[in-house]
Copies of this chain bind each other. A is one copy, B any other.
């Protein structure tokens, strides 16, 4: 059974726009922050990776907006692995209002392992793949 990684985020004043709600672009930062905390949780060291000469550029980003979040709301951000390939990972994200339990947004990021020098896609390191495997969502 697939596992889900969960983290929380408190909406800052600077996340809001003149409609009084979180600006749509900010959810991509919430997704990325959740991904960063996921890597820390897995014991994945950014310094080690940097020394191996890898980047993790995004090749695709998507979000659907169902309900707005407002200043000071506590959000629950969930990550799962939708697809794990040799050179890329598709992460799925869902953001809920933690108090009400309502789903606010859902989306995905496709991340590629790339060689810093050449910029070309490269295989995701074995140790990392092994850890990600537990989070791959099974589609029946």
Contacts and interface: CB of A to CB of B under 8 A. Distances in A.
Interface stretch (A65-73, A83-91, A122-130): A65-73
Interface string A10-24: 101110111111011
A23 B21 CA distance: 14
Interface residues of A, number: 35
B24 A12 contact: no
This chain's copy number in the assembly? 4
A64 B112 CA distance: 12
A3 interface: no
Contacts of A25: 14, 25, 28-29, 32, 61
Contact of A17 (B14, B37, B46, B64): B14
A55 interface: yes
A140 interface: no
